[in-house]
Amino acid sequence: MTILYALVARGTVVLAEFSGAPTNASTIAKQILEKIPSGSNDSHVSYSQDRFVFHVKRTDGLTVLCMADESSGRRIPFAFLEDIHGRFVKTYGRACHTALAYAMNDEFSRILSQQMEYYSNDPNADRINRIRGEMSQVRNVMIENIDKVLERGDRLELLVDKTANMQGNTFRFRKQARRFRSTVWWRNVKLMIMLIILLLIIIYVVLAFVCHGVTLPSCRR
């Protein structure tokens, strides 16, 4: 049997436990609970003891612990702990935060026994856990790909915005160019008119000088 002992605790208060073999696992487990600082962050840790390993999962103040053979690795024991944590929270909800020691032991110890048997002897347990891991990897890859697509979408949107700004700037430039050409044209027209008027004045002055008077008397005869 791979998993030999399991418990669920709140801090150092054991709410339920089950042992599948006559060992001192309960004593060692309680010593481990005392070493876990109260209010510490969620964690997944393992402690080696001879040829056995105590695996601990702490989530939201609730600690789930099991003792397994050293050869069992970490995947199956932590899959078991994840399963037990979910079942316990689903069954008791907020009551687990205020319950007295061993308040859930009569009922939940049977669930511990059943799941210990399942994860220790049923090959489907490891297969299902492996599939879950593969699905998690696929989900992570999908999320990563979606993030890349969204990031590219942001860049495309930014490019579109820049293109729109360039088009707006081009329109304003053309408008300003037309206004400038119009201004230059009117300035040239005014200059031409002034030159014509100046030329007429010069011609008149020359004629007045030649014709001996402003009224051009000698030229009118």
Q: Report yes or no: 111 and 15 within 8 Å, Cβ to Cβ.
A: no
Question: What pLDDT is attached to residue 159?
Answer: 55
25: Cβ contacts below 8 Å, ≥ 6 apart: 4, 5, 19, 52, 54, 67
pTM metric for this prediction: 0.55
Which residue is it, tokens 């329109």? 171
pLDDT of 163 > 60? The answer is no
Q: How confident is the model at residue 5 (pLDDT cuts 50, 70, 90)?
A: very high
